[in-house]
Structure 1
């Protein structure tokens, strides 16, 4: 019967330790790489800068003229620094879709509540456009009730011509908030949003910009014109 001497047991232990050291040495590059990768992943969040805080803002996806009824394709989301988000901005396109612009909105700029027509005035008929105008006589705007159907006239030193007899007053914006938009001289008159036949929209806007646009009350269709 064979017996194990203490010397044999010591030699076996030394052989096992040498075998482990041999394996560790063989795989040393892999172990070092794993330790370095772990250290990098642990320290990375501490050394990377924190992403700046942003707020979602609905902006115009293209240049939108006044009178546009906003569709999902007209707007998109952009990220703004919170300090630069203007008052009246919206965070969701659903808040704006279906509303009508009373002021133009340039591509990439926030669409604000102050640029929208008041609720209830978005019912344009087929063949109508909503256009923002100033009247040459500021006092004349005060005489027009919302919803009135009026004649829009271009009056110059050479005479007057009816641009349309089927204009409807949709809404008005106080003079303090318009900044002279489309008013030529920037006189303190209300900006009116009126619905006009599409074929007359350019003539009406030109007369407004030129300071020659005035209004006449009367039965619609009583005179020839668009």
Structure 2
């Protein structure tokens, strides 16, 4: 029970890595507010942890929506100790074909959403000190053809994380990043089921396999608990040793 008594707010928390982090935090004793546009199938988690799990609708491109989210979490659980900025979107497209609309959607959701989540979290976290964990990606530091918008926004998130860590440290707030590699769900799972594509990519994984969502969630627990009390401004890569052409 590494997070017993703590309250975490997780954006994009109802599916994928966000849900995996939410479930692991709950298993470690935390109260969790999973926030997203849609609940998806998060009801299963709510039923398992009726006293410690909540779903709240949020729009991460809206400062007011995020302020309301933090206020609701505090009203229900008394305080917020950890904020995980996980909400994000990916739209494929090479630079010369990527639509302006898709570009703006990625910048608004991934980058501006992380910025606004941080701003909403500061007044709550600085009361007692706390943690902000911004979810990046291995693609923040590796070239992926056809993913200019996604790579650019994730790279920006990593620098935003480092600057925020320096600025918010005097307020008792630690800010770190979490950069998963290719994980065995969503696009990662599709990669492995396509034998031809998998053979082309398999040699890029030092461990010879995709990562598991619970392995990323375990790293998110580390960044939220006392053991990481002197870790600040760091981007923790969870990719098993990832090479990239």
Return the TM-score normalized by structure 1: 0.25
Return the structure number with greater strand share.
1
More contact order relative to length (CA 8 Å, sep ≥ 6): 2
Max radius of gyration: which structure?
1
